[in-house]
Amino acid sequence: MSADGADLPGPAGLFSRLAGSYDAVGVPFFGPIADLLVGALAPAAGERLLDVGCGRGAVLHRVAPALAPDGSIVGLD
């Protein structure tokens, strides 16, 4: 087996092969969608949010500044 798991069968191998390029493709793809979600959510300072299915955190990173200084957001994927 390779150290990066790319030779694993099935979905595990597929995800291992794609992992190296995911940030280059996945993060920019989800950025505009995250911006729309944050705009619709209209977060306010002090709120506490839970992002279920957060993936790489596109929404987390965009909403966190609006919750400052006393709010928080937790991501669960």
**What tens digit of pLDDT does each residue of 2-23 get?**
666 667 778 888 888 888 787 7
- Which domain, by its residues, includes 60? 10-76
In a domain, 5, yes or no: no
In a domain, 58, yes or no: yes
Contact 17, 6 (CB under 8 A): yes
Q: What is the mean pLDDT of residues 63-75?
A: 96
In a domain, 4, yes or no: no
Overall pTM > 0.95: no
Alpha helices in 1-77 (DSSP H): 10-41, 58-67
In a domain, 47, yes or no: yes
**What tens digit of pLDDT does each residue of 31-49 get?**
899 999 999 999 999 999 9
